[in-house]
Homo-oligomer: A and B are copies of this chain.
Amino acid sequence: MTTTAATGATATAQPEATTREQRLEHGLDVLGRIDGDAGENVLAALSDVSPELAHQIAAWGFGEIYSRPGLAPRDRQLVTLGMLTALGGCEPQLRVHLGAALNVGLTPQEIVEALLHSAVYCGFPRALNATLTAKQVFAERGLLPVATA
């Protein structure tokens, strides 16, 4: 385990030399397991306008950050749902990550409860937009109606 003087970070995660291509492969693998087809469709849509953005989403966002062991995939999606709800105007990304949230084990009831919780911090309009986006994702997966407690 080596320590970088400048930042104090330890370099255990990727101690070996990797090529840009290898980092992408790793990222695409992580992305596929979390987002499934929805993530790959986003990358495909970028291929003729900004393949570099597609590369960085996969290689950095998923290969570097998502793949870190310090926070469970389910927990990462809870944080992500909170952020995308609060940011607003991110309905396409919210759709992908609502699917990802289901993929990593959050139940529709937990998701709906998290979005209700968001009203306390973001207000009703953001909570409403996110909940109606969730309704679309749930409908596509045959998960409506969401059973109430």
Report which of B15, B69, B127 forms a contact with A20, defined as CB distance below 8 A.
Answer: B15
Q: Which residues of B contact A124 (CB under 8 A)?
A: 53, 57, 61, 93, 120-121
Known: A76-B117, A132-B45. A148 touches B9 (CB 8 A): yes
User: How distant is the Cα of A56 from the Cα of B20 in the complex, in angstroms?
Assistant: 16
Copies of this chain in its oligomeric complex: 6
Known: A21-B11, A52-B9, A131-B49. A79 touches B78 (CB 8 A): yes
**A9/B51 in contact, CB under 8 A:** yes
Known: A53-B127, A78-B78. A145 touches B84 (CB 8 A): no
Chain A interface, >50% SS class: helix
Report which of B12, B21, B61, B81 forms a contact with A4, defined as CB distance below 8 A.
Answer: B21
A100 part of interface (Cβ distance < 8 Å): no
Q: Which residues of B contact A28 (CB under 8 A)?
A: 6
